[in-house]
Amino acid sequence: MTLILAVLLGVLLIVLYWLFVVPRQAAAWALERFVAADYGLPPREALDLGRAGPPPPASRMRERQAVADAAWGGDWAAADRYVRAAGEDWDERWARIEVLQHVAEEDDAWLDAWRAADPGNCDAATLHASLLVHRAWAIRGSGYAHEVSGYAMNEFRALLPAAIEEARRASLLDPANPGPWVVMITAARGAQYRPKEFEQLWDGLVARAPHHFEGHWQALQYWCAKWFGSDQQMMSFARRAVRNAPPGSPLAGIYLHALDELLKRTAFALPAGPVGRRMLKRVAASFEQVDPDHELLPGLRHRLADAMVRTMMYGPALEQFRLIGPWCGADAWRRDGNAVVAFETARGTAAKLSRVRPAPAPRVQDIGRY
């Protein structure tokens, strides 16, 4: 019995050593001796804190600016054409609604004119409903309920039913369009919808767009422990998203948002066993099929690299850091304040513990005189 206890104690000490001591040593090495170029990574001085990834193509930015300028100038038809051009690519169509929402937040006179001129337009009604939801959340703020003033909470709860009703009316204007259902799902947790009520909205969304990224993100928030679900329900939902993600969709990234919710409460909450690692590998494989220019992909890669380092998947994490490049301005590295230090520590740790041999630059042989 004594021998068995000694063996178990020895195993426990080895596990603790690899869980706590080795990563700490690697983190110190990363900040003091890590040469990124030796591992095929951009050097520290080339890191860019301003963005999570490369800027969108200039043509895309020019198009958005032209639509915004036209709207502020009173030409709502440009906004209508902009949304319609996405066709039935519902993720892209929602992304364009979000662009227009930012435009309307500065000046929404053009949206009022659009709705008045074309009252049967589902996109205009959806945009207005979404704007109401975001205004409600802006009044409430992002704090927990006990941190919100009574006045702000009352205003918040008064705006949401109006937004949901507006979205319901929008859904009748174009029954195939999932946009109104995304708005309703977004508002549902603030409106205190019970699970059965929420599931009816969810069924309405997935009947129209079963892989809608924003819809899944909003549903994930509903099912997390701080709202109406639990860690188990949230993770089960996230795993289904990974399994159901079609080729080319970033939907598997919903799993990474679920892990982020766990990290907000404790740094040791990530599923680090075989199942969790398989899910991360599956997410990585799914990302290989996503368009490299997809605007969600860089931020998701940062979350994936962070999760892989935390679960000691150092080799796969290093591959993600190579794909990320010099961009380090992602939310994943801002938890502890200094994003550059966090990013450099994570990729240095991945390099040190990945068992990948460094490949220093070859020496340049001096050319002597003959």
What are 331-367's pLDDT values in tens digits? 999 987 799 999 999 999 999 999 888 876 554 444 4
| Per-residue pLDDT, 333 | 95
| Per-residue pLDDT, 32 | 78
| Spatial contact of 261 and 254, defined as CB atoms under 8 Å apart | no
| Per-residue pLDDT, 146 | 65
| Per-residue pLDDT, 8 | 52
Residue stretches of the chain with pLDDT short of 50: 11-19, 363-370
Under the phi-then-psi rule, with left for phi > 0, alpha for psi from -120 to 50, and beta for the rest, what region is 355? left
| Per-residue pLDDT, 158 | 82
| Per-residue pLDDT, 147 | 72
CA–CA distances in Å: residue 287 to residues 30, 78, 138, 237, 253: 27, 33, 32, 19, 8
| Per-residue pLDDT, 360 | 63
What residues contact residue 217 under an 8 Å CB cut-off, 6+ apart? 254, 257
pLDDT single digits (tens) 291-325:
999 999 999 999 999 999 999 999 999 999 999 99
| Spatial contact of 270 and 246, defined as CB atoms under 8 Å apart | no
| Per-residue pLDDT, 362 | 53
| Measured distance CA(49)–CA(27) in Å, rounded | 20
| Per-residue pLDDT, 25 | 74
Under the phi-then-psi rule, with left for phi > 0, alpha for psi from -120 to 50, and beta for the rest, what region is 312? left
| Per-residue pLDDT, 13 | 46
| Per-residue pLDDT, 143 | 63
